[in-house]
Amino acid sequence: MDVLPFVGQRDHRLDPKDRVVIPAAFANAIRDHHGGRLYLVPSADVPCIEAYPARTYEQEASQQVPSRFAGDQRGRRLFFHNAEPVDLKGPGRITIPERLRRYFPQGIVRIAGMNTYLELWDPDAWEKHLGDASSCLPLPDSGSGHEPRAE
Angle formed at CA 146 by CA 143 and CA 151, multiple of 5 degrees: 110
The range of the structural domain enclosing residue 69 comes to 22-126
Give residue-wise pLDDT tens across range 103-122: 999 999 999 999 999 999 99
Mean pLDDT over the full length of the chain:
84
Higher pLDDT, 130 or 67: 130
140 Cβ partners below 8 Å, 6+ apart? 146, 147
86 in Cβ contact with 37 (< 8 Å): yes
Residue 93 in any domain: the answer is yes
Work out the average pLDDT over 90-114.
96
Residue 87 in any domain: the answer is yes
Total number of domains in the chain? 1
Distance CA 9, CA 118 (A): 9
Indicate which CATH number applies to the domain containing 110: 3.40.1550.20
Work out the average pLDDT over 7-14.
96
Pick the closest to residue 11 from 19, 22, 25 (CA basis).
22
Residue 2 in any domain: the answer is no
